[in-house]
């Protein structure tokens, strides 16, 4: 089984699940996001966002391939590039951290340790860029796949709550801890990334 991780670019954005290619929950502020959905342009807005971040900051995601088939992806960026993060009651993300936006391991590829490989790759990338941590907004009342990561799953893979909230706590993971992860976190990571099944429907906070 051959595994390959590639930076997310406009050339391989088509390898993301269709619902994720047309979801701009994080990439636009609430008003602009609703307008894009109403106008039928969310996929174009998504590609424009990826292009802008690539030009200004660099790689903002990884796509994992198994035997050259897309198996999953993870998306991340500094909060300045994630307009929706400002709408959360527990913002802002710390200045020394990058926001883990979303991720997904496709059915049929879960349980193979891909989540750990992806997050460790992201950690190495961000450490080289001088960042110390990944932060994420969690959904403490998560019941079904949505755009916000389930808080319980984030805690299960080592995130710590830095700003509590009954609905959307902000959590933090020190990057260096991810480099020493063992196989016992693989199942938790698969659950985390497998749960983030985004739909192109914007929901209120």
What digits encode the pLDDT tens for the residues 13-53? 999 988 899 999 999 999 999 999 999 999 999 999 999 99
121 CB neighbour count, 10 Å cutoff: 16
pLDDT-based confidence at residue 198 (cuts at 50, 70, 90)? very low
Q: Which residues contact 25 (CB under 8 A, 6 or more apart)?
A: 33, 84, 147, 198, 202, 203
Is the preceding omega at residue 40 within 30 degrees of 0, hence cis? no
Three-state secondary structure along 78-105?
A: CHHHCHHHHHCCCCCCCCCEEEEEEEEE
Residue range 98-147, pLDDT digits in tens = 999 988 888 889 888 888 788 888 889 999 999 999 999 999 998 876 78
DSSP assignment of 21-36 equals HT--TTTS-HHHHHHH
pLDDT of residue 203: 43
pLDDT tens per residue, range 139-191: 999 887 678 888 988 888 888 999 999 999 999 999 888 877 765 566 677 77
Phi, psi (rounded to 5 degrees) for 84: -65, -25
Q: What is the mean pLDDT of residues 68-74?
A: 93
Q: What is the pTM of this model?
A: 0.87
């Amino acid at each position: 089984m051959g595994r390959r991780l590639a930076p997310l670019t406009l050339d391989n954005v088509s390898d993301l699940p269709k619902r994720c290619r047309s979801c701009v929950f994080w990439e636009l502020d609430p008003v602009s996001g609703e307008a894009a959905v109403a106008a039928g342009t969310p996929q174009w807005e998504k590609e424009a966002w990826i292009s802008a971040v690539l030009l200004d900051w660099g790689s903002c995601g990884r796509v994992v391939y198994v035997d050259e088939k897309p198996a999953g992806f993870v998306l991340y960026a500094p909060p300045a590039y994630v307009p929706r993060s400002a709408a959360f009651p527990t913002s802002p993300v710390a200045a020394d951290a990058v926001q883990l936006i979303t991720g997904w391991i496709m059915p049929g590829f879960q349980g193979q340790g891909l989540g750990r490989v992806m997050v460790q790759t992201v950690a190495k990338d961000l450490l080289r860029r001088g960042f110390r941590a990944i932060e994420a907004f969690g959904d403490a009342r998560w019941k079904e796949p949505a755009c916000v990561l389930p808080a319980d799953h984030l805690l299960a893979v080592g995130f710590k709550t830095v700003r509590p909230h009954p609905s959307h706590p902000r959590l933090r993971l020190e990057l260096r801890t991810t480099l020493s992860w063992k196989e016992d976190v693989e199942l938790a990571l698969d659950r985390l990334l497998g749960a983030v099944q985004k739909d192109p429907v914007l929901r209120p906070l």
